[in-house]
A and B are shown apart, each in its own frame.
Chain A
Amino acid sequence: MAQDRSPLREAAPVGTPGDELALDGPSAPSTDLAPADLRALLPGVEPERQVDDWGRSERIEGALDATLVEFFYRLWFGCEVEGIHNVPDEGGALVVSNHSGALPPDAAMIAKAIKEEHPRNRKMYLTVEHFFKDYPGFSMLLPKIGAVPAHPANVHRLLYDERQLVLVFPEGRKGTEKLYKDRYRLRRFGRGGFVEAAMRAGVPIVPVALVGAEEAAPIFAQVPLLQKLTGLIYFPITPTFPALGPLGMLGYLPAKFKIRFLPPVRTDDMGDEPWDDKSLVQTVAHDIRATIQDELFDMVGERKSVWFG
């Protein structure tokens, strides 16, 4: 019913009264509002719903989390997590990781790691290509498990207004396209858009180095012709795809996963509007890339076995 409104939804009024008493007051409300004021006006949570405004469904995410993700996280990949304290307890943060695999398992494992190991059990949103929004099935499923199209406005709203954790893979498609022979060599980190997003929101960047995903879903070759014919973003040859059909995309090898969260990089102490300084943006992006790359070589060097760690 319309009458019983949850108090959560009553955001603090800004400036003007909306009631009947103010019939002829001058009351021109200021239209130039500080972003912080707008943050207070975010719609509240309706407790009756199981889906949030991004389309994330507790029910579907919970079901997947308890079965498939749990199985891969604990048994199949046997994830080991280090440095979870580097993920902040509250407020927005941009989690930045290396990326690989035809249907990358790394995003789900990082999300699960934060959910399981972090003292606050924080949830995380992950950014995906716009491509998936027009891909039947994926378009339906991905938002349900917390994926959001990688639009700067979406990332900003999540980081700044909703103060959430957001996972990005700056390598993007170039990371998941790369072949097995190029494993653990980071591709270019886009144009530094992720640094800009973090700076605008004033949130820290948490770099993550993840070892194991390259061996879990190795790509031996790319077939451009089949890619064009199928309309996929790429058409990889993996141990199980296309041999086992579309489900072969989930045919991961049981490599040992190690996830290391690195010390956060603050972006709120870089002066006024640092995002306008393109050279600073590039420098920060480059530094973060170098940090993750060094850490990866370090971790791969320490590793005794691909399968047992």
Chain B
Amino acid sequence: MTSKRILVTGLSTHWGGRVAQALERNPAVETVIGVDRRPPKVELQRTEFVQVADSHTLIRRIVEAAEIDTVVDTRLVVDGTVTSPRLAHENNVIGTMNVLAACQGIKKLVFKSSAHYYGVEQDDPAYFTETMRRAHPPRSRLEKDIYEAESAVEDFRHRNPETIVTVLRFTNGLGSGRPSSHARMLDLPAVPAILGFDPRCQFIHDEDVANVLEHAVKFDIDGIYNAAADGVLALSEVAGLLGKRLAPVLLPWGTALGSAALRRAGVPLTAELERLLRFGRALDNRRLKATGFRFRYTTRESVMKLREHQRLASLMRSDGEGYRYERELEEFLRYSPSVKAANAAPALPANVAPRGEESAAQLATMSAAQPVARPRSAARPPASPPTPDYADLESDEIIALLDDLDTAQLERLREHETAGEARPAVLTAIEGVLARTTA
């Protein structure tokens, strides 16, 4: 494996956090360092976080000091609703330039790009392959920025023939309850559509996105790859799977006016989304599959997962605020010699830590100290009142969701189930998952 010392840029993005979590579980990885402007939003065991902007001198210093061999760049903004166009441009074009400047001489660069690279046009092929270029100039600011960012990466590839450059073009991610313009659109009581159009849609499950990035770190796959799940659905099929109706609220002519009005009313209809509602888009994912990657979910299954999250939304919301990064605490847990409790730690091999035996013990400590880091979980109110959504769920649907919950949530769910219907199948499944996570 080429990648042992890894820098993740954009650690506070959904993907950056997920990738760091996956990488730190891999014993072959020596070091994971994450940089971002904002603190990470997920719990990390041994990833070290440095709060810097995308300034190339600062990142360069980290790369050199930590002897980074692999940079995973997950910063790219691909959703117009996340931030303002100006900040998106700053991040996507200038930020990419800076990161690339800091990457000279590393062994591998994994760049998370987007299917927006291809755009959406009337004369598009039904499936884009990696060798196809867009026939028309980019339409929106965001598409233009992504196009420029990829051009910069291709330029980097030419200048650094020794470096493995993996560019991953992801289609829209879905299925984890992560807020995005697509997820928000599909959360509406009816799915907005353009009158007389039923475009083809393709998604990728959020979990598969993280898996693809991890796959690209684990294996040396040079080149450009489309990352999109198997199966292409019609928008009407998507609405059907979600148990909703298509609402043809936009007219085929003057769609831009209509969508501007909808945007004002709070519907997250970005310019890219509007084009997708007209013509749709699908990617040919076979090149990525040929490298040995297997998608866990098809497009259809991703949409089903989204439905499960929609049904459970009210139950999950009562969970309070999520994880918050506490710098002092994290640093104490990582570096203080006082931290001991190597008993219940997962069996991490000794070579994982930069400083040998001693830090391996610390690592173990950190994972054991996990409950301490999250005192909130202990002081939660007991079972929340039964919500109608939860009562609607079949037991196998609940069981399928259990893997996504953490220990505290599982315990609450168990109480709730015992107080309510007390289905034996559900209770056994919860016990099973709890046993697995605590073991």
Contact = CB atoms under 8 A, between A and B. Distances in A.
Interface of A: 1-3, 9, 11, 13-18, 22-25, 27-29, 31, 33, 37-38, 41-44, 46, 48-49, 51, 53-55, 57, 130-131, 133-140, 143-144, 148-149, 151-154, 157
Contacts of B237: 49, 51
B279 interface: yes
Contact of A27 (B197, B219, B286, B298): B219
B301 A2 contact: yes
Nearest to A18: B292
Interface string B186-203: 000000001111101000
Contact of B291 (A16, A137, A138, A149): A16
Nearest to B251: A136
Interface in B239-293: 252, 278-279, 282, 284-287, 289-293
Nearest to B175: A2
Nearest to A130: B123
A187 B32 CA distance: 65
B231 interface: yes
B125 A2 contact: no
Contacts, number: 140
B160 interface: no
A151 B298 contact: no
Contact of A46 (B27, B290, B298): B298
Contacts of A148: 126
Given A18-B215, A46-B231, A23 B122 contact: no
A157 B126 contact: yes
B400 interface: yes
Nearest to A137: B196
A41 B295 CA distance: 12
A139 B279 CA distance: 8
B123 A23 contact: no
Nearest to B229: A43
Nearest to B232: A53
B234 A51 contact: yes
**What DSSP secondary structure best describes chain A's contact surface?**
loop
A60 B8 CA distance: 48
A230 to B, nearest CB: 12
Contacts of A140: 196-198
A15 B126 contact: no
Nearest to A45: B231
B129 interface: yes
Nearest to B252: A136
Contacts of A23: 1, 26-28, 218
| Chain B interface residue bracket vs A | 35 or more
Contact of A13 (B215, B284, B292): B292
Nearest to B302: A2
B296 interface: yes
Nearest to B164: A28
Given A43-B230, A55-B200, A38 B286 contact: yes
Nearest to B126: A154
A28 B230 CA distance: 23
A2 B286 contact: no
A14 B292 contact: yes
A1 B400 contact: yes
A54 B196 contact: no
Contact of B290 (A9, A14, A151): A14
Contacts of B1: 23-25
B215 A9 contact: no
A41 B290 contact: yes
Contact of B282 (A33, A53, A144, A149): A53
18 contacts: A1-B301, A1-B304, A14-B290, A15-B290, A16-B292, A29-B219, A41-B290, A44-B230, A55-B200, A55-B234, A131-B122, A136-B195, A136-B252, A139-B198, A143-B198, A143-B200, A143-B234, A151-B126
A139 B220 CA distance: 41
A43 B298 CA distance: 9
Enumerate the 5 nearest inter-chain pairs by beta-carbon distance, A residue then B residue, closest first. A136-B196, A16-B292, A43-B230, A153-B125, A136-B252
Given A49-B300, A140-B197, A153 B127 contact: yes
A51 B237 CA distance: 8
Contact of B286 (A9, A15, A41): A41
Contacts of B126: 54, 148-149, 151, 153-154, 157
Contacts of B218: 22-23
A15 B288 CA distance: 12
Given A11-B289, A49-B300, A51-B233, A134 B219 contact: no
Contacts of B232: 53-55
B305 interface: yes
A37 B290 contact: yes
B297 interface: yes
Contact of B223 (A18, A31, A53, A136): A31
B274 to A, nearest CB: 13
